[in-house]
Amino acid sequence: MHFLHVVGARPNFMKVAPVLRALAARPGVVQTLLHTGQHYDANMSDIFFEQLGLPRPEISLGVGSGSHAQQTAQIMARFEEAVLARSPDWVLVYGDVNSTVAAALVCAKLRIPVAHVEAGLRSFDRDMPEELNRLVTDQLSDLLLTPSADGDENLRREGIPAARIRCVGNVMIDTLVRLLPQARLPDAALSSPFALVTLHRPSNVDEPETLRSILETLIELSADCQMVFPVHPRTRRRIADLGLTFPSPRQFLLLEPVGYLECLALQRSALTVITDSGGIQEESTYLGVPCLTLRENTERPVTITHGSNQLIGTDMDLLQHEFRKVLNGQGKRGRRPPLWEGRASERIAEILLGGDAVVAPERRAA
């Protein structure tokens, strides 16, 4: 059985790693790893391959940046050629990035079976490009592998037959469980305590006044607790445009994007995490570290119902208030959601190879 895995952006790499390993451990499996090149900087891509022990991608499409339409269209055009040349039995797509939806759409038209890992998540906010990617990918996929029961409900509500949906748990947590023992803090001037900050959502960073208000609040809070902020390339450009003055690094430490092992160690050691990332909401839930999410909604509600996550939106008074609660030892700790124990990828391999992976006959490749 030949599986072709499509990855493109930073959050895909920790999701594909355990699935590749779980499938590689089974007999009769051939795998191809394809990188679209959506993320291409060494610190957004190469370092993850190295730290996660991923093989070099056999196919690199080298797509790079562009508008959403340009990026998605280029991935589609180049991916179609690559997938036709390989004719895999299954294509696996991950998460909600432009590479995910582009590959799913190509496969659906070629009638190549597609499995979506991390299916069913919904923020119900169509202003987020990722929400559109999730909706379309799920409609086009033959097998929907969800991380939590809310995903199954969302999919059924959208009319997807129950036979195509499997709740397998969270593959990000498989990687976290495997690599937590190797987590190591970056070589940087960290104080104690510190708060970890990450920001890259267009809704927070593309509007200068929103970004300014967030950063000014964080600068104020840094008087009481060092802010450690690895800056995404998108955000770096926007911050430069604002011309803000930051306090000294002892108070406000701006870093280049960090590797996976460093990011895990930073989360584990942080007093709290202030973020708009999806993956970090999940990782901090697993680690029991209070997470203050600078978004109005989340497609990962179990991080709130079970975990350590709280939505702050762009209400900077609320951020101040909740941050002070954390400083006073009253941060939310939560508990781990069901099936977030490190074996989701085993369940995926079982489903794909156990013969019960449902593909509607009309969707199978001719």
- Shortest Cβ distance from residue 97 to ligand UD1 (Å)? 3
Q: Contact between 44 and ligand UD1 (CB under 6 A)?
A: yes
Q: Contact between 246 and ligand UD1 (CB under 6 A)?
A: no
Q: Contact between 166 and ligand UD1 (CB under 6 A)?
A: no
Q: Per CB under 6 A, which of residues 79..138 are in contact with ligand UD1?
A: 96-98, 129-130
The residue from 24, 25, 30, 41 that contacts ligand UD1 (CB under 6 A) is 41
Assess whether 2 carries a catalytic annotation. no
The stretch among 5-13, 155-163, 189-197, 265-273 that binds ligand UD1 (CB under 6 A) is 5-13
Q: Contact between 9 and ligand UD1 (CB under 6 A)?
A: yes
Q: Closer to ligand UD1 by CB, 75 or 225: give it.
A: 75
Q: Contact between 11 and ligand UD1 (CB under 6 A)?
A: yes
| Residue located via tokens 């939560």 | 334
Of 200, 232, 306, 321, which is the active-site residue?
Answer: 200
Q: Closer to ligand UD1 by CB, 173 or 221: give it.
A: 173
Binding mask 168-197 for ligand UD1 (x = CB under 6 A): ------------------------------
Q: Closer to ligand UD1 by CB, 110 or 136: give it.
A: 136
Known catalytic residues?
A: 200
Which residues are at the interface with ligand UD1 (CB under 6 A)? 9-11, 38-41, 44-45, 65, 96-98, 129-130, 200, 232-234
